[in-house]
Structure 1
Amino acid sequence: MLAPAATSDIEPESEDEPGPSQIANTPEFAPFDPIIFPAGSYSIQLILDEREVKSTKNRDYMLEHLKKRGVNATKRSLEVGDVCWVARLNDGTSQECVLDYVVERKRMDDLKGSILDGRFHEQKFRLKHTGISHLYYLVEDYDTERIARHWKDQINTALSSTQVIDRFFLKETTSMEDTIDYLSNLHRAILKIHADKSLYIIPPHLIKRYNFLELKKHLNTLDTEKIYHTTYTSYQALNRKNGFYTLQDCMARMLQCIRGLSEEKIAALLEHYPTPRSLYDGFLNAEKQHSMQPSQALGRVVPRLGKGRRTEASSTTPELMLFELGGKGRKKIGPALSKHIYEIFMDLEYET
């Protein structure tokens, strides 16, 4: 296959510690009593998206072969992801919640197509906004040799960024049968992990798209050992394509349209300028500072504002305001991209 697979399948990812500005901007949440599924009171079922088929003539192949391997599985329509796991109470009430695992499955030809038409970035964006910690990106071998002759570099770059930058678990399989084996093994691992574990569910009336990720972060700071889930209904409502996105979400999607601006650079930019207005105001401030300086002072360090903080830019030229963001070397946004972003946001002539 085209890229190295992740070395771990179940280990959760750790979040970076929030900085002072993130803490200051975190909304306050009132205490609440979670819905609790006591250990041993529920059963776990693998949910396969209805669109996951082998062919139009054999639509239930995956489901049938998962069941043959002893997996409690069913098909439903999923708003995001191709596979997830649901815990359902055994008391006959049909209460259920989504566990902390989601799989996005891509056949190699579909992966190539999604990279070319932009679905690749949008799908990852939506997956990261589920609030699920264990995100799996499963790539299934299909006509890979032919596809790699023309698209090897693009595919390797996409898979590497998915694993290293997005921190998804990357798994590559050799066939649909190999995929089914992997999902069966993952299902058994999830059963084992939850054999003696109680589940804590956020009441549906407390879940709002605009602050859901902040709520999850807040709950994690209260108890790092406790994972808070959502009901299946809440999961579906949260992740509909027409769901409510925050300004920062919209800003991220806008920036993804700028050629050369990687997700790592977008994250660095959003840390300082989380909304279109904050970036626009930052450029206005830079222009003002630039116009106020005498010619002999050009090139000296001047203040730059963003997200309520003051940092320093190494140039007084407004279009170069962003060029040092993102770290060192290739991680930096750089002068060319900084100029492009400036031209776009200040409504100047911009060549794509």
Structure 2
Amino acid sequence: MSNGNGGKRITLKRSRPNPIFEDWLKELHEEAKEKKSKLEPMLKEALDSMSKYPLPLKSGAECAILKGFDKKLCRFLDIRLEAYYNNTNGSEPKVSSQTCTVSMKSSSTQTSTSDSTNMANNNDSSTSNSLNADSAPSDSSSGQTKKPRIFKPVFRSGSYAILVALLEQLRNNPLKSALEKQELISLAQPHSEESFSRPKPNSFYTAWSSMKTLISKRLVVCTRSKKTTYSLSDDGIALAIQVLEDYKDRPTVNDVIFNGAPTSNLNPMRNQDNLTPGGSSTSSQTVTPVLSQTSSSDSVFIDMPPDSFHVILLIDKNETGGVSKKDDPTVAQFKKYPDLKHEYRSLKIGDFTWIARHKSNKDHELVLPYIVERKRMDDFGSSIKDGRFHEQKFRLRKCGLYNVIYLVENYGSNKHVGLPFQSLMQALANTRVQDQFKVHVTDSLNNSARFLAMMTKRLTIEYKDKHLFGRNQESQGEKLMTFDYFNKASSKSKPLTVTEMFIKLLVQLKGLSVEKALAITKVYSTPKSLITAYEKCTQREGETLLANLKYGTQNRNVGPKISKSIYRFLVWKECE
């Protein structure tokens, strides 16, 4: 078709067909790059493919056709888009044919963007519904303008914690009311249920993401010079004071556990076993520890009358990235419980245990018969593949503490955990049934810390009226062992007896639990004694030699499969 331009074709090109999606992706990419997140390459690929795509996209789901967009990212864009529309009174952004710019106020854009970010983070559920006064919609039926909803952070959310921390800083040190990020996180974390350093499962956001909402609402002032600092505005001070007043009677998790507050605010925890100390759930079997004695039995006798000691939770230093590291997720979780008596030490076995320490003589410490091994689901899968799982169970079984708790944390949706999820569940079932360990599964590090805090409180109640005593030797009946003896005797580097080495060898065989290995070594304490017995048998007799040995409290048979496997393993000849 000819036209007035000499027959030249005129093309209309959209410079940015999807500016909102691009801006959100840039925001995510910059944050991931700053934190050196593993998601940074994926977000960069998504941003590049979005900037090159020539057509407008109406939803996050449509973005799935582009490179770098997985289901989580598409879902995130849909959630954020929904919040965007809610804050613009349900109208879609108008796009011009040439520049594709959003036709709305910049202040409204900023507010909706930060609100939707907070909605995705799920820290402040009320934020996604809040509107600024200048964008309040009118009621068409009455002709009146609706009152704008006032922003109020959810109790112990990220926004709540930041406001309270900055207000405390202002009150304690008015001359230094502005804080750098790490200083602020350190003060805010005890006031928040969510982590400021570790993203929620299946999410890009931490509690710190709430800062964008607070800045956009002019509650927090961000000052950028040589170092970026944050302080409360006048409106922020007023809101922080109001929030503290409104929530002053709301109990925290710490109050619920340690101060007898109502338990209605506690989320129920999924508990695979009843772990009441001293109750019927405690395994009734008599455990014969195979601990090697490392101290003289005639050492000082420790005697602790009722109410003369504190129950203290011990946390293995290796469970943290460093106790002095201010933003370590594990340390931050336990800081939420100011009434929890806990310490960080190097534990030779397990990740958590409890001691009774004399109130006046701090050197007198007796280990209570409870020990916890904590595994995140992906680490649990790795430990099975590399053999650590069986070795750790063996060492836990012989550490002399008869209440062994296997604490397992879900890892997001448990999709990338090294082994099929069903295989991990079977391994946990075997741990519970064959090894007779207690198994407890939580959804997050937050709930794991809560479980341990509750266990500490329950143990405190259980033992407060008990008379405790012990020495530097193995636990026997009600006699406890000292912490020094426990840690030295549990060391990996200590010499193992031939029987202990034989047990470690046996538990590497498929289906052979520690209980079965203990039953076998009770009759045949060394490999040589068992091989000697095999030499006197025919092949058929050798394969069934161990089948009828009894193990565990229910006196079950070791079984023909295990018996046959051990025979073929030790005899070193082909068997038909």
TM-score grouping bracket, smaller chain normalisation: 0.7 to 0.9
2:275 maps to 1:5: no
- Corresponding residue number in structure 2 for 1:342: 567
Change (3 A) 1:194 1:321: closer
Matching residue's letter, 2:329: Y
Stretches of structure 2 lacking an aligned partner (at least 5 in a row)? 1-269, 289-296
- Report the secondary structure of 2:537's partner residue: helix
- Corresponding residue number in structure 2 for 1:309: none
Q: Measure the CA separation in 1 of the matches of 2:558 and 2:363.
A: 51
Q: Measure the CA separation in 2 of the matches of 1:88 and 1:141.
A: 33
2:316 maps to 1:49: yes
Give the conservation status (yes or no) of the 8 Å contact 1:326–1:333: no
2:465 maps to 1:236: no
Matching residue's letter, 1:95: H
- Report the secondary structure of 1:321's partner residue: coil
Give the conservation status (yes or no) of the 8 Å contact 1:264–1:331: no
Give the conservation status (yes or no) of the 8 Å contact 2:524–2:530: yes
- Corresponding residue number in structure 2 for 1:14: 284
Give the conservation status (yes or no) of the 8 Å contact 1:6–1:163: no
- Report the secondary structure of 1:75's partner residue: strand
Q: Measure the CA separation in 1 of the matches of 2:435 and 2:367.
A: 21
- Report the secondary structure of 2:319's partner residue: coil
CA drift of 1:244 comes to 3.4
- Report the secondary structure of 1:113's partner residue: helix
Give the conservation status (yes or no) of the 8 Å contact 2:393–2:514: no
Q: Measure the CA separation in 2 of the matches of 1:261 and 1:144.
A: 30
Structure with greater proportional strand content = 1
Q: Deviations over 1:294-317 (max 9, x none)?
A: xxxxxxxxxxxxxxxxxxxxx5x4
- Report the secondary structure of 2:420's partner residue: helix
Q: Measure the CA separation in 1 of the matches of 2:403 and 2:494.
A: 22
- Corresponding residue number in structure 2 for 1:278: 529
Give the conservation status (yes or no) of the 8 Å contact 2:375–2:408: yes
Q: Measure the CA separation in 1 of the matches of 2:327 and 2:401.
A: 28
- Corresponding residue number in structure 2 for 1:65: 333
- Report the secondary structure of 1:191's partner residue: helix
Give the conservation status (yes or no) of the 8 Å contact 2:434–2:513: no
Q: Measure the CA separation in 2 of the matches of 1:98 and 1:323.
A: 37
Aligned 1:169-318 pairs, distance under 5 A: 169-202=438-471, 204=472, 207=473, 212=474, 216=475, 219-220=476-477, 227-263=478-514, 265-287=516-538, 317-318=541-542
Change (3 A) 1:149 1:137: closer
Change (3 A) 1:33 1:74: closer
Q: Deviations over 1:184-216 (max 9, x none)?
A: 1111001111211121112x2xx3xxxx4xxx4
Give the conservation status (yes or no) of the 8 Å contact 1:63–1:74: no
Matching residue's letter, 2:507: Q
- Report the secondary structure of 1:189's partner residue: helix
Q: Measure the CA separation in 2 of the matches of 1:104 and 1:277.
A: 33
Give the conservation status (yes or no) of the 8 Å contact 2:351–2:373: yes
- Corresponding residue number in structure 2 for 1:105: 374
Alignment equivalent of 1:322, drawn from 510, 530, 546: 546
- Corresponding residue number in structure 1 for 2:421: 152
- Report the secondary structure of 1:145's partner residue: coil
Q: Deviations over 1:50-87 (max 9, x none)?
A: 11137997664333432432201121111011111122
- Identity in percent: 30
Change (3 A) 1:14 1:59: farther
Alignment equivalent of 1:39, drawn from 303, 306, 309: 306
Alignment equivalent of 1:333, drawn from 551, 554, 559: 559
Identify the structure with bigger relative contact order (alpha carbons < 8 Å, sequence gap 6+).
1
CA drift of 1:43 comes to 1.6
Give the conservation status (yes or no) of the 8 Å contact 2:503–2:521: yes
State the aligned residue count: 292
CA drift of 1:92 comes to 4.1
CA drift of 1:111 comes to 0.5
Matching residue's letter, 1:169: K
Q: Measure the CA separation in 2 of the matches of 1:111 and 1:178.
A: 18
CA drift of 1:348 comes to 2.7
What is the TM-score normalised by the length of structure 2?
Answer: 0.46
Change (3 A) 1:198 1:339: closer
Q: Deviations over 1:133-172 (max 9, x none)?
A: 2211100111343147951232112101111121111111
Change (3 A) 1:153 1:55: farther
Give the conservation status (yes or no) of the 8 Å contact 2:378–2:417: no
Change (3 A) 1:260 1:193: closer
- Report the secondary structure of 1:40's partner residue: coil
Change (3 A) 1:231 1:239: same
2:404 maps to 1:141: no
Matching residue's letter, 2:437: F
Alignment equivalent of 1:162, drawn from 431, 439, 450: 431
Q: Greater CA radius of gyration, 1 or 2? A: 2
- Report the secondary structure of 1:286's partner residue: coil
Matching residue's letter, 2:491: R
> What is the RMSD computed on CA atoms of the aligned residues?
3.4
Matching residue's letter, 2:334: L
- Report the secondary structure of 2:383's partner residue: helix
Change (3 A) 1:130 1:58: same
Stretches of structure 1 lacking an aligned partner (at least 5 in a row)? 19-29, 221-226, 291-314
